[in-house]
Chain A
């Protein structure tokens, strides 16, 4: 049903979208602004903040670290997500609700609680902080997102296709590999991209658990203290914005293709 338009509702939604996009629109504005202070009026166009980005070794190190963490996190969280999503959609087993609840818990737990509790245990065990400890935390918070995405992919799967392959003599593993996996592949790709993006952007856990090695958000946070560095941070932010828009568009494309393949309706959104 598409009822008659209510003008005030439309105006409200437009205003809300402006509120949502206000900070993001400013990012490219100040990235290309030829002034060391982040304030209006704009002072003219420049590329110099972008060229300056290429001359900061600490930043390059942070980018490399973040990419490493995000790639390992995305793969691990997606594998764990496949197990949990497949188990919960295909099988019935005792205390299923409790088990899935525990796996999904980080979704509603404040990140500082996750970060702090991991820090306490890692320090007690005498484990040195570094990129691997950040990965441990990131896999924990990314897995619920992967489970959510992959559950809908597995749920939309027509079970009779698997049964047919099984009846035709394929083993359970080869059925999974030849039938199930290709059909949920779009969900898997979307899960990889989403967890990659979350990990790349995560700050609190990285701040607590990275020790001497910095990830990109930890680097950005440290730059906020130096006003002169801010235009460079804006340029960096603009690049990140463009990259995450690209990644998300690709994720959305695969998610929709997956829905088309399994013939399900589009319920919209990642979450």
Chain B
């Protein structure tokens, strides 16, 4: 705008100053307790540690170890695989539920449904993970139930203390985080578009594929990222139900920090993991953005 008057500019500056001063307490907090510590982790990942003393310096040894030692490679690739699988399972299972609540539940009852879906999320995470151990164990609910009705002759052992248990438990833990963004995206869809599609002779399935699904994509993308990124760093689930074959990279980071006293290596592992996760998320966003644009 060329003819912005001086008064308008002054008022805009006043607004900026007020906004800044108001946002400064939470901003300072985030800078001091989030940005600074995260930067510190990056710096420390280039240091070395000898028993309890950290030695400042610059070495790429930690990264070399993080990327080349077989134990770290195994954990990292397993973590990525588990996170991808958990994300896929969670989002695919969540979509129909979000669709049902958005399209088949009466408007005045939607809030109640969302409340119902979020309740399990608000109960103790530790206890939920532990209860999956009760359900999936050798003498667990599932095995005794299946034995009782005669479906199996001896308890299934592939359920607990391995990667399967980690995937089931995480898919359960992250369910509401996948359902809510998809639900919000579905709610935004203008219903008259669907009627138009029907009127123009499209079948219900084709309407879903060509109208509903593309318009719901922002929600699906959000759900994928919200589930995928934190799942990589989950520590409780693998340590409670994963057994030795279900340990993930977060467990190794914890061990390096708290038990082996090798903070630089732990930091390098954490930075490597976050870089890979960040790169995958950016790639995913680029891919879906192009896909979304192609749909319009």
Chain A residues close to B by CB (< 8 Å): 1-3, 5-6, 9-10, 12-13, 16-17, 19-24, 26-27, 30, 37-41, 79-81, 83-84, 86-88, 90-94, 96, 99-100, 102-103, 105-106, 108-114, 116-121, 124, 136-137, 139-140, 143, 147, 197, 201, 203-204, 208, 217, 220-221, 224, 233, 237, 240-241, 244-245, 248, 252, 256, 266-271
Contacts and interface: CB of A to CB of B under 8 A. Distances in A.
Interface of B: 12, 15-20, 22-27, 29-31, 33-38, 40-41, 44, 54, 93, 96-97, 99-100, 103-106, 110-111, 113-120, 122-128, 130-132, 134-135, 137, 139-141, 144-145, 172, 175-177, 180, 183-184, 187, 191, 194-195, 204, 225-226, 229-230, 232-236, 240, 250, 253-254, 257-258, 263, 266-267, 270, 274
Most buried by B among A80, A93, A217: A93
Given A9-B104, A12-B97, A16-B97, 12 more contacts: A2-B105, A16-B96, A16-B175, A83-B26, A84-B23, A91-B19, A110-B229, A111-B230, A112-B234, A203-B126, A220-B124, A233-B127
Contacts of B125: 201, 203, 217
Most buried by A among B16, B37, B125, B254: B37
Contact of A5 (B104, B175, B236): B104
Contacts of B235: 111-112, 204
17 contacts: A2-B103, A12-B96, A23-B172, A83-B26, A84-B26, A84-B27, A87-B19, A91-B19, A92-B16, A102-B30, A108-B229, A110-B234, A117-B40, A118-B37, A120-B263, A217-B124, A220-B126
Nearest to A259: B111
A267 B127 contact: no
B62 to A, nearest CB: 14
A117 B45 CA distance: 11
B131 A26 contact: yes
